Structure 1
């Protein structure tokens, strides 16, 4: 009976270790995605601020004259 309990615990431990490893991989991939998105957002903000100095105005300024 004790050996059966130990075997069951070992099985649960094995599954738990596998789950932790999978979750660790997911967290790592998500961190990579967050860093990529952060760099993209930073680049977009820099482009936007650079465009503001070059004649940027309100959206009303972009409306064609026939409106």
Structure 2
């Protein structure tokens, strides 16, 4: 194998290693963001449920028909 060919292969490998590292860093950041957004989503879902239950207790008693009936 020629010296030129060997240098070319080593250069390509170095670029591939850097690309893999960069992609890994981005993937890690995305996973952190997904976990953060999941936590926010869970928190908001709980809050919506609490507010819904609270509103149901105030606005419309469970067995009472609306006034237009």
Same fold (TM over 0.5): yes
1:17 aligns with 2:17: yes
Matches within 5 A, 1:23-38: 23-38=23-38
How far apart are residue 47 of structure 1 and its match?
Answer: 0.1
When normalised by structure 1's length, the TM-score is: 0.80
When normalised by structure 2's length, the TM-score is: 0.77
User: What RMSD, in angstroms, separates the aligned Cα atoms of the two structures?
Assistant: 1.4
How far apart are residue 25 of structure 1 and its match?
Answer: 0.1
Rg comparison, structure with higher value: 2
User: Which structure 1 residue ranges, 5 or more long, are not aligned?
Assistant: 58-67
User: Which structure 2 residue ranges, 5 or more long, are not aligned?
Assistant: 60-69
Question: Aligned pairs, how many?
Answer: 57
Task: Identify the residue that residue 40 of structure 1 maps to in structure 2.
Answer: 40
